[in-house]
Structure 1
């Protein structure tokens, strides 16, 4: 600021008025204060926007977490059902094989096998 006051223009005017210098300093300080206030408003708006974005991101993350937990639970349920089904079908195959062996021992012949053999 002092450089501004000591510019060649001021010297060329031939004025070295302390009252004018004081008024110019006051105007310069007022401008700086206004600029600081504007920057503060912009910063506050930016912080408000960031906070809103953060809240939304947390909300979305919570929703995705819930959906992932539901998906994992459903996957576990399906896996358990598949394992039970595999166990049941294995038991059923063993039982079928047992009954088929007993039936063959008693003279039964599979009609599908007889048709294929002809």
Structure 2
């Protein structure tokens, strides 16, 4: 079945239309909600952040006055004693607490690593001893095999010598005759 000559034109146009619609949808999805909330906030005249009053002339530049923190968060956490205690700490205390926590975590990790290293060394030592035992066993078996081969060779020579002497004195092997007849 042959396609009409203008089939490629319609396919390309439909593909481009779908591509443009997907692009517009993605643009609306990413830009739409922030734009909507910005326009809604300005129409009512509300300001999302209260103005801050800061006295930056104090010598401690890294501490934040408690009034500014409390004014920015409102009534949230005023009755919580743990929150109040945390908010009253200064930056140096918070950083030193963070460093002590990191040091404790690092020490725990180091102890765990040392314990794993000790276990690894014990396992290595155990397997090395087992390998040495195995090597000694293989060596003993090899020596026993070589000794057995030497003894077998000596026995075969001795048997051949006795058989030769027996033949010289007239002995004949009846078993060999029975095998040759069958």
Aligned residue number for residue 34 of structure 1: 97
Q: Tell me which structure has the larger Cα radius of gyration.
A: 2
Which of the residues 34, 55, 58 maps onto 1:16? 55
Equivalenced residue count is: 109
Aligned residue number for residue 109 of structure 2: 46
Aligned residue number for residue 66 of structure 1: 129
Question: Which runs of 5 or more residues in structure 1 are unaligned?
Answer: 1-8
Q: What's the CA shift for 1:109? A: 1.1
Q: Distance in 2 between matches of 1:86 and 1:20?
A: 94
- Give the RMSD, CA atoms, in angstroms: 2.4
Question: Which runs of 5 or more residues in structure 2 are unaligned?
Answer: 1-48, 66-88
TM-score, with normalisation over the residues of structure 2? 0.54
Q: What's the CA shift for 1:29? A: 1.7
- Superposed CA deviations along residues 6-46 of structure 1, whole A, max 9, x for unmatched, are xxx79x32331638856439622222111111110000001
Question: Secondary structure of 1:24's partner?
Answer: coil
Name the one with the larger helix percent: 1
Q: Distance in 2 between matches of 1:107 and 1:67?
A: 59
Most deviating of 103-112 and 16-25:
16-25
Residue 158 of structure 2 corresponds to residue 95 of structure 1: yes
Residue 176 of structure 2 corresponds to residue 113 of structure 1: yes
Q: Distance in 2 between matches of 1:74 and 1:22?
A: 73
Structure of higher RCO (CA pairs closer than 8 Å, 6+ residues apart): 1
Cα 1:64–1:22 change in 2 (3 A) is closer
TM-score, with normalisation over the residues of structure 1? 0.81
